[in-house]
Amino acid sequence: MTSIVKIKTKQKADSYEIRIGAGLRNFAGPWAAETASNPAGRIAVISNKKVFGLYGEAAEKSLAGAGFKPLVHLIGDGERYKNLKTLENTLKFLSGSGISRTDTILALGGGVVGDLAGFAAAVYLRGIDFLQVPTTLLSMIDSSVGGKTGINSSFGKNLIGAFYQPRGVLIDTETLTTLPRRELTAGFCEAVKQGAIGGQNLFDKTAAFLESFDRKKLAQKDTEFTLSLASMLAAQVSFKARIVAGDERESVSKMDARSRKILNFGHTFGHALEKVTNYRYFKHGEAVGHGIRFAAELSKNLGLLAQDEVKLLNDVLRRAGTLPPIADIDPLEVFATFKFDKKLINNSLNWILLKRIGEPVIFPHSDIPLAALKSAFKNTARA
Ligand SMILES: NC(=O)c1ccc[n+]([C@@H]2O[C@H](COP(=O)([O-])OP(=O)(O)OC[C@H]3O[C@@H](n4cnc5c(N)ncnc54)[C@H](O)[C@@H]3O)[C@@H](O)[C@H]2O)c1
Ligand SMILES: [Zn+2]
């Protein structure tokens, strides 16, 4: 069974579909032939050694069976390879292989591969077709939806990039069977984030899924479990797509509860934690997990969110998995980084806080007393 989520963008021609189902990697060929503008062309598969070793052969075989000429380019594994050097090497590969305007790039991997391959597709020959086959939970529900592509540089993360929509996204839920536990936890934290800002339905659906989550069922390919996973992913993707459709380019002035900025719930504190630990201690999603707890505590301290909702959020987060402890991190060092947050616009930092689950508010940092931050840190570190 395949779920299909339609992603609508302002430019009608850019609208596309996300297909979700078990074993879909084996149908990458027919899917790409249906989705790419030139089904007979070359296809540059960009991946890394680990993911390609697991899923590359099946994808390549299916692509070749559908009439494509797959050419494979592997990049280094990890965030540190999402850089200009890798981009340059990738562009060299594309050019050296004679990839033309009518050919296609297919990203097979997590957010690192997807962001880099998407940016390469955006800039190579001023833009060629791009397809995405995300293989991490985070890339399935978050990075492959919304058209943000890019790389890191010496002046910051994700600051060089482009908005560039893929022609289609194929999610094979079976690829999650090999994903390390911490990567799953990180993805689940982002799912809880989207539930917390998305609404009671998405939150309840995510919570119920996490309650039933069992890695054994994932490995055994339990049908009922697979269907509930696909349905949770479809709900997550639809939510992100809805927000993105209303604010495709993250308008600076849009400040309402449907602004793309709300997707940063849990991220101000999360980014700060990543920064003070030199991006080595946490997976991004784990830091966001703490960020959700912190934002909930802060919302409570400011009289916005009721204690029982804070507790509910914490209970659901616990089901997402264990987070690396933060008790040894100095809160003042964390607070000092707020002024460098990427979302700092016109010299002012805004927090995404909650009035209720599903009701985010954008709240100016300048209106938050230090005591409220300190107390939120204390409670976040305690759990
Ligand atoms: N574009 C966006 O809107 C957006 C949104 C959120 C995050 N991101 C970006 O996404 C990146 C993080 O993505 P990520 O969390 O997917 O990390 P990742 O791409 O580094 O993948 C995590 C690890 O899992 C491995 N892996 C991938 N799929 C696997 C599988 N099926 N089985 C076993 N191992 C597998 C990878 O090789 C890697 O070691 C960051 O660079 C972040 O900036 C982008
Ligand atoms: Zn995130």
Q: What is the domain-level CATH number for residue 151? A: 3.40.50.1970
Q: Which of 183, 190, 279, 282 to mutate to test the pocket of ligand 1 (most atoms within 8 A of CB)?
A: 183
Is 148 tagged catalytic?
A: yes
Mark whether 171 and 264 lie in a shared domain: no
Is 190 tagged catalytic?
A: yes
Q: 23-27, 84-88, 324-328, 343-347: which has the minimum mean pLDDT? A: 343-347
Residue 221 confidence (pLDDT):
82
Average pLDDT of the residues in 119-128: 98
Report if residue 213 sits inside a domain: no
Mark whether 8 and 121 lie in a shared domain: yes
Is 250 tagged catalytic?
A: yes
Nearest CA to ligand 1 atom 10: 111
Name every residue whose Cβ is closer than 8 Å to that of residue 170 and which is 6 or more positions away in sequence: 18, 19, 24, 25, 27, 28, 31, 131, 132, 133
Report if residue 74 sits inside a domain: yes
Catalytically annotated residue among 260, 283, 290, 300 = 260
Residue 345 confidence (pLDDT):
55
Average pLDDT of the residues in 130-140: 98
Mark whether 27 and 144 lie in a shared domain: yes
Q: Would you place residue 39 in the very low, low, confident or very high pLDDT band (cuts 50, 70, 90)?
A: confident
Mark whether 260 and 174 lie in a shared domain: no
Q: How far is the CA of 112 from the centre of ligand 1 (A)?
A: 5
**CB of 68 closer than 8 Å to CB of 41:** yes
Mark whether 258 and 159 lie in a shared domain: no
Q: Which of 136, 175, 215, 342 to mutate to test the pocket of ligand 1 (most atoms within 8 A of CB)?
A: 136
Residue 346 confidence (pLDDT):
57
Catalytically annotated residue among 19, 167, 271, 300 = 271
Report if residue 117 sits inside a domain: yes
Q: How far is the CA of 136 from the centre of ligand 1 (A)?
A: 6
Catalytically annotated residue among 193, 267, 275, 290 = 267
Residue 13 confidence (pLDDT):
72
Report if residue 345 sits inside a domain: yes
Report if residue 280 sits inside a domain: yes
Q: Count CB-CB contacts under 10 A for residue 181.
A: 10
Q: Would you place residue 321 in the very low, low, confident or very high pLDDT band (cuts 50, 70, 90)?
A: very high
Average pLDDT of the residues in 309-313: 97
Assess whether the C-beta atom of 47 lies below 6 angstroms from ligand 1. Answer: no
Mark whether 375 and 263 lie in a shared domain: yes
The domain total for the chain is 2
- Domain span at 284: 253-382
Q: Which of 25, 48, 86, 115 to mutate to test the pocket of ligand 1 (most atoms within 8 A of CB)?
A: 115
Report if residue 222 sits inside a domain: no
**% of the chain at pLDDT higher than 70:** 97
Q: How far is the CA of 100 from the centre of ligand 2 (A)?
A: 33
Residue 44 pLDDT exceeds 90: yes
Last residue of a domain, one of 126, 155, 179: 179
pLDDT tens by residue, 23-34: 999 999 999 999
Is 126 tagged catalytic?
A: yes
**% of the chain at pLDDT higher than 90:** 81
Q: State the average pLDDT for the chain.
A: 93
Nearest CA to ligand 1 atom 21: 110
Residue 48 pLDDT exceeds 90: yes
Residue 4 pLDDT exceeds 90: no
Residue 245 confidence (pLDDT):
84
Residue 8 confidence (pLDDT):
78
Nearest ligand to the C-alpha of residue 176?
1
The residue with greater pLDDT, 312 or 340, is: 312
Average pLDDT of the residues in 46-50: 98
- Distance, in Å, from the CA atom of 234 to the CA atom of 219, rounded to the nearest integer, reads 20
- CATH of residue 362's domain is 1.20.1090.10
Nearest CA to ligand 1 atom 20: 78
Last residue of a domain, one of 179, 195, 218: 179
Tell me the residue length of the chain.
383
Nearest CA to ligand 1 atom 18: 110
Assess whether the C-beta atom of 109 lies below 6 angstroms from ligand 1. Answer: yes
Residue 338 pLDDT exceeds 90: no
pTM exceeding 0.75 = yes
Q: 80-84, 154-158, 297-301, 329-333: which has the minimum mean pLDDT? A: 154-158
Residue 341 confidence (pLDDT):
57
Mark whether 261 and 116 lie in a shared domain: no
Residue 347 confidence (pLDDT):
61
Last residue of a domain, one of 125, 156, 179: 179
Catalytically annotated residue among 17, 248, 250, 359 = 250
Mark whether 260 and 168 lie in a shared domain: no
Assess whether the C-beta atom of 148 lies below 6 angstroms from ligand 1. Answer: yes
Assess whether the C-beta atom of 175 lies below 6 angstroms from ligand 1. Answer: yes
Assess whether the C-beta atom of 166 lies below 6 angstroms from ligand 1. Answer: no
